[in-house]
Amino acid sequence: MDRVALRGLKARGHHGVFPREREEGQTFIVDLVLGLDTRPAAAADDLTKTVHYGVVAEEVVAVVQGEPVDLIETLAERIAQQCLKHEGVEEVEVVVHKPDAPITVPFDDVTITITRSRV
């Protein structure tokens, strides 16, 4: 299976369990790896035979900016399900970064990584 990766998609969302997170929002960063067979697209040099990563990026940002959820696990699942709606995408790895998580000690990042497939 071939891989198309999108790294560092940024969007502001209002996800979290604390009222401040819901009210003020924060930046979330998403990395994706889409698993698909790119041979038909390469052979025909045809965008319609692969995944349009620009469209996927816009959809992922819309999910992050959309309906708030408590957990980044839920957000990652919603993103994965959106990606799997694209014909040809057989699996997806989603990493959601929450670099401004409300943690009281110094840290660089909080992430959740999930892998989902059509199977």
- Known catalytic residue at 49: no
Structure tokens at 44: 């025909």
Cα–Cα dist 39/25, whole Å:
41
63 within 8 A of 13, measured Cβ to Cβ: no
Annotated catalytic residue within 10, 49, 85, 98? 98
Cα–Cα dist 73/108, whole Å:
19
List CB contacts of 77: < 8 A, sequence separation 6 or more. Answer: 114, 116
Cα–Cα dist 76/87, whole Å:
20
Q: Which residues are catalytic?
A: 98
